[in-house]
């Protein structure tokens, strides 16, 4: 059984017990969250597609930890002008464990 759910503007394919990294969520570590924007549910071949969401369906999850992603280096250069700059960025993420998919 899996579901496609929209979390913080991004779509994820999730199953029970799966750990995913999403953009930072509001809430404490260890708290329960519920996502109600379920776009599709597949239960052993019986597929329900929402218009745009599946009515009465939600995904229950637990926030395991808040962390930062890997550092991404942003380098800009204009040739023959002597201009170059380097910048780094680390995205704030939340590690979420999927507990249950409810239809």
- pTM of the predicted model, to two decimals? 0.83
pLDDT tens per residue, range 74-91:
999 999 999 999 999 999
Burial, 16: exposed, middle or buried (Cβ in 10 Å; 0-12, 13-18, 19+)? Answer: middle
Place of tokens 């239960």: 43
pLDDT for the residue numbered 59? 96
Q: Distances from the Cα of 29 to the Cαs of 15, 54, 61, 65, 95, in angstroms?
A: 21, 28, 12, 5, 9
pLDDT for the residue numbered 48? 92
Q: Both tokens of residue 54?
A: 């599946």
**Mean pLDDT across the chain:** 95
pLDDT for the residue numbered 75? 98
pLDDT tens per residue, range 10-33:
999 999 999 999 999 999 999 999
């Amino acid at each position: 059984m899996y579901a496609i759910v929209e979390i913080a503007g991004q779509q994820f394919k999730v199953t029970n017990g799966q750990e995913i990294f999403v953009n930072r969520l509001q809430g404490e570590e260890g708290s329960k969250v519920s996502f109600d924007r379920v776009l599709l549910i597949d239960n052993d071949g019986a597929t329900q597609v929402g218009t745009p969401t599946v009515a009465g369906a939600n995904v229950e999850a637990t926030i395991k930890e808040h962390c930062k992603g890997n550092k991404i280096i942003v380098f800009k250069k204009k040739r023959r002008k002597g201009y170059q700059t380097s910048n780094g960025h680390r995205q704030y993420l939340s590690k979420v464990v999927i507990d249950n998919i409810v239809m």
